Chains A and B, each alone.
Chain A
Amino acid sequence: MKIRHHFDDATLMAYSSGSLPQGMAVLVGSHLHWCDECRERVSQTDRIGGDLLEAIEPVAMEPDALASIMALIDQPEPEQKLRSLSSDRLDSARTGLPLPLASMLGSSLDELDWRRIGYGVQQYDLKLDGPGATRLLRIAPGVSVPHHTHRGNELTLILRGSYSDELGRFCVGDVADVDTEVKHQPIVDTDEECICLIATDAPLKFTGLMGRLAQPFIGL
């Protein structure tokens, strides 16, 4: 897979800081599954977090904390956890989808319950909590996606086929990382349909990570 379009540094920093909404984090994780270059960059944006961890003013643990952990460390890891990881790996291998997305969908792209939302365009909404929306779009050859606007950032990861717009040509594995102020109108540019994962964040109502995770799903 030849990947030509990558994330902005600022997006990878948001990923490392844990401040992305769930859908965007799944999208970034999915690209990382395929992209050595961005994985390398994330090891550096993670390092900022590591350095801050070293610099933070420590807060004392409960007096019996170490004893409680020591009591657990000789026990084997709960089987349930191990099983779910290996079933995610199987899903990923079977569907050809990157691991974070495969574990979230649990089925292949063709098995999903697609909903027609316009001429040549189908949608599958992942219905994640938090601000913004996370959805798969399935676009027929020759069709272009009408531009939609909202504040904030929009990430797109190509999973099948390709499209072109003012920013260039996007193929499987590529990401488009844009502010929605950027005007673009993608058009599917081969005779193969294009399927992409799109995640947005939304205008905030709450502040802080906790509040953002809690914000009820508000649609497109």
Chain B
Amino acid sequence: MQEDDSEGKNVSAAADLTRDRQKRERETWTKVLASLAETRDKRLFAELFSHFGPRIKAYIIRLGLPAASAEEVTQEAMLSVWRKAHMFNASKASASTWIYTLARNLCIDRMRKEKAVEYELPEDEVDPSPRHLGEHAILEQRMKAALGTLPEAQAQVLFLSYYEGKSHSEIAEQLGIPLGSVKSRLRLAFDKLKTHWEAQS
């Protein structure tokens, strides 16, 4: 019993450390983006590119674009980072949040443009590129830290929504739970994250 407890503490201490490191990283990148806006220094842009480019690409692939399209959209997103840097307001968002929204919007536009291809899919055919890795990936240490101390059921709906772009109804169907439960899990997760962010700052 005692052993279990100390193990639990170690795991949560490790998660705390990861979170602290991520918080520091987030703040560092926010400063880099803010100074890019002021200086237009290409070296700063190259740093942002090497950190965020591969992450945006990974995110876009998760949402379902093929790697080649994901590469193009990522390059487009990074170009937007350069062009729109003057609109970045460090008091309102971190660099990662701001860049996330840019990438998300471009990815949605791209998917709308490519939809004609998808029309060809027969209705009952399963998703040709199944990404049912959610349950495993969720166990990654990094992911755990990012999602704070959320219970797995809540982390799972967040993951399916943000990482796989699934709608509430699709999540309900996939998990075999009512639509209302998906929404209440999301709300609970959001409340917990907000409390966690407040404690952090």
Contacts and interface: CB of A to CB of B under 8 A. Distances in A.
Contacts of B49: 65-66, 69
A210 interface: yes
Contact of B104 (A18, A61, A151, A181): A18
Contacts of B162: 13, 16-17, 48-49, 52
Contacts of A204: 167, 169-170, 173
A22 B112 contact: yes
Chain B residues touching A, range: 35 or more
A179 B131 CA distance: 28
A8 B191 CA distance: 12
B193 interface: yes
A213 interface: yes
A161 to B, nearest CB: 29
**DSSP class of A's interface residues: helix, strand, loop or mixed?**
helix
Nearest to A202: B169
A108 interface: no
Interface in B32-83: 42, 45-46, 49-50, 52-59, 61-65, 67, 70-71, 74-75, 78-79, 82-83
Contact of B93 (A13, A46, A69): A46
Interface of B: 22, 25-26, 42, 45-46, 49-50, 52-59, 61-65, 67, 70-71, 74-75, 78-79, 82-83, 92-94, 96-101, 103-105, 107-108, 111-112, 114-115, 118-119, 121, 123, 127, 131, 140, 142-143, 145-147, 158-159, 161-170, 173-174, 179-180, 182-184, 186-187, 190-191, 193-194, 197
